[in-house]
Amino acid sequence: MNDRKRIDQMDAVRQLAGGIAHDFNNLLTGIMGFVMLVLEDMDENDQAYSYVKEIEKSAVDCREYTGRLIFLSRDICVEKKETDINAVIDAALDEMRGYLGKDVEVSTNMQGAGGLEMDAEKIQGAVACIISDASTRKGDLESMDISGGKIEADERYLEQYTPIQEKGSYFCLRFCARGISISPDAMKTLFRPRFSSGRSRYFGYELAICREIAEKHGGYASVIPRDERTVDYYMWLPVS
Amino acid sequence: MDEKRFKAKILVADDEESVREVLKTFFVRKEYDVETASQGREAIEKIESYKPDILLLDLKMPDMDGEEVLKYINDSNLKIGVIIITGHPDFIKDRKLLNRAYDYIVKPFDLDYLNNTVLTKVVLLSE
């Protein structure tokens, strides 16, 4: 798929997601509002009270869904500022704690992370996307080692990491996910917008979003299976 | 805060019937006077005839969007506390215009939160 087609496809997805989120939020306003009014009129000991509370709970879950659709519908505009990447990773891990599960071991190791210029909110979103993608892949995610450091992308480096198009200095973020695999077929369409329900936080669009965020920073993203049970997710962000 | 400083009039302008109904029911219970409008032009007609103190204004309406209604209020120098209620936080084109509204709340909102916002504006209007 060429870049123009991919951009058009993401724009179409954005518009659709925004429209659906808007309409669902309207409907949810009615549902949640009337639920609140009904609950005000009910006795807490009434059995039906607990049923209405269940409706309220489901409506709150739906609101969380529409929040994700709104994230998906947003055009990615990047505003770079000096950022502490450690804080960004910590915030993303906090945000995604529920997706990772309590048994997944996480380690972080950042080298030379000072003075990086990036859009902290967008990079946090990209990290959340990687975590969501890893947690929905085949297998059981056992651990994630997150490491980062400055690299010099010379000709040899570009040969090894083909997604990088230009030589230069980058901050390379690597997310080594153990316990999961990606089939060769899935690798062919990895960054294409696709729909996936279930545990996926952004409906299967995680890697498409992640790549767009990296590209808007002037960087790159890639996924490289290391072996049958380990997948490395990469982001390279230019260092000025 | 005293909720009954004066019986404020609220106009709910929203094209979604369930939103109009729930807000009308809720604010009537809170002893406000409430009218509704399902379209932008109807909202402007009711602003003229009903003279609301508070306008709960949806942004996306079929004939005339909320931004145009807000612009009309500003151009006419009307003293109405406008609270924008929208299903999508990014559906406003003119951010400067947004600053002229009293507040901006994204759906689905908590009714008590909206009530507090309305109440604060009503108190300010009554002073």
**For A75-79, what is the mean pLDDT?**
87
Q: Given this model, what pLDDT does residue A199 score?
A: 64
List Cβ<8 Å contacts ≥24 apart for B76-82.
B78/B47, B79/B125, B80/B47, B80/B52, B80/B53, B80/B54, B80/B55, B81/B53, B81/B54, B81/B55, B81/B118, B81/B121, B81/B122, B81/B124, B81/B125, B82/B54, B82/B55, B82/B57
B95 touches chain A (CB under 8 A): no
Write the CA distances from B95 to A153, B83, B91, B92, integer angstroms.
Answer: 42, 14, 10, 7
Size of interface A-B (CB pairs under 8 A): 69
Place of tokens 């609220």: B10
- pLDDT tens-digit series, residues A28-66: 999 999 999 999 999 999 999 999 999 999 999 999 889
pLDDT category of residue A144 using cuts at 50, 70 and 90: very high
Question: Percent of chain A, pLDDT > 90?
Answer: 63
Cα(A35)–Cα(A30) distance, integer angstroms: 8
Contact B111 A63 (CB under 8 A): no
Check whether A85 has a pLDDT greater than 90. Answer: yes
B21 touches chain A (CB under 8 A): yes
Q: Given this model, what pLDDT does residue A194 score?
A: 65
Give chain B as a DSSP string: --TTSS--EEEEE-S-HHHHHHHHHHHHHTT-EEEEESSHHHHHHHHHHH--SEEEEES--SSS-HHHHHHHHHHTT---EEEEEESSTT--S-HHHHTTSSEEEESSPPHHHHHHHHHHHHHHHH-
**For B87-101, what is the mean pLDDT?**
76
Q: What are phi and psi of B25, to 5 degrees?
A: -60, -45
Whole-model pTM: value is 0.74
Q: Given this model, what pLDDT does residue A3 score?
A: 73
* Chain B residue closest in CA terms to A23: B87
Contact A18 B90 (CB under 8 A): yes
Chain A hits for B109, Cβ within 8 Å: 29
**For A115-143, what is the mean pLDDT?**
91
| Chain B nearest CA to A28, separation (Å) | 6
Chain A hits for B18, Cβ within 8 Å: 26-27, 29-31, 33-34
Q: Which of A28, A37, A74 sits opposite B108 (nearest CB)?
A: A28
- pLDDT tens-digit series, residues B23-82: 999 999 999 999 999 999 999 999 999 999 999 999 989 889 899 999 999 999 999 999
